[in-house]
Amino acid sequence: MARLSVNVNKIATLRNSRGGDNPNLVQVAKDCERFGAEGITVHPRPNERHIRYQDVFDLKKIVTTEFNIEGNCQEQKFIDLVLASKPEQVTLVPDVLGQITSNHGWDTMKNQNYLKDIIKVFKAAGIRVSIFVDPVTEMIEAAATTGTDRIELYTEAYAHNYPTNKEEAIAPYVKAADVAHKLGLGINAGHDLDLQNLQYFAQNIPALDEVSIGHALISDALYYGLENTIQMYLGQLA
């Protein structure tokens, strides 16, 4: 069964909108774990529009499952933050400054040398590394030569196409996951996975290690409640 890591960025966005500490991010993370989440994910950005750098240190003190920090490793401040907080996992995402949300994976061929160098930095600190990739065989094969421990499959295309043709939507991910598994890479996935499409994805990717879900899960929690929602997502992975 794949692990569920809850991305709490949206909780921080809500908190920041009023400038106070309601909702309290640390308490929400504790509750997510208490309700069954098997990891907490954050994706800090330079303008701190949701997760603040201090949040990372505050969460590191209390997360008892797996702490995963996503972000743009081409920013020195992000590198310093990860090395100082030492999460269990860092997920490297090729964001650009001001990007609203991640929208593509690494070109692991073009950025081969860079990825090898930066992955060495994190692994030397004892941090597991995952890199964000599109479900393209060549990118998976090149990822395997960078020294990364895992890949995270960018699932926006799957989610977009799922309502009209789920078999066609999942096909490139099945192929990509098969290649990754044969090359010895762990497999994570994330972006636009929700209660409608998660179960089918997990059923067709048997080697799936972890999913990171934030926006959809927090949105569903507005209707179903946080505890119930986490249990519903876990049920889709069972």
Kindly indicate the confidence band of residue 154, based on its pLDDT and cuts at 50, 70 and 90: very high
Instruction: Enter the pTM of the model.
Output: 0.95
Q: Which CATH class is domain 3-237?
A: alpha beta
What pLDDT was estimated at residue 102?
Answer: 53
Instruction: Check pLDDT > 90 for residue 175.
Output: yes
Dihedral, CA of residue 43, residue 195, residue 23 and residue 54, to nearest 10: -10
- Residues involved in catalysis: 43, 70, 191
Each residue's pLDDT tens digit, 40-88: 999 999 889 999 999 999 999 999 999 999 999 989 999 999 999 999 9
Domain ranges of the chain: 3-237
What pLDDT was estimated at residue 100?
Answer: 46
Each residue's pLDDT tens digit, 75-104: 999 999 999 999 999 999 997 655 445 557
Instruction: Check pLDDT > 80 for residue 206.
Output: yes
Contact 104, 154 (CB under 8 A): yes
Q: Where does 86-195 have alpha helices with state H? A: 112-124, 137-143, 156-161, 166-182
Which are the contacts of 62, defined by CB distance < 8 A and separation ≥ 6? 26, 29, 30
Each residue's pLDDT tens digit, 91-147: 999 976 554 455 578 999 999 999 999 999 999 999 999 999 999 999 999 999 999
- Which contacts of 206-211 are long-range, i.e. CB under 8 A and separated by 24 or more positions? 207/177, 207/180, 207/181, 208/2, 208/177, 209/2, 209/3, 209/150, 210/2, 210/3, 210/4, 210/5, 210/38, 210/39, 210/66, 210/186, 211/2, 211/3, 211/4, 211/5, 211/237
128-133 and 150-154 as β-strands: parallel, antiparallel, unpaired?
parallel
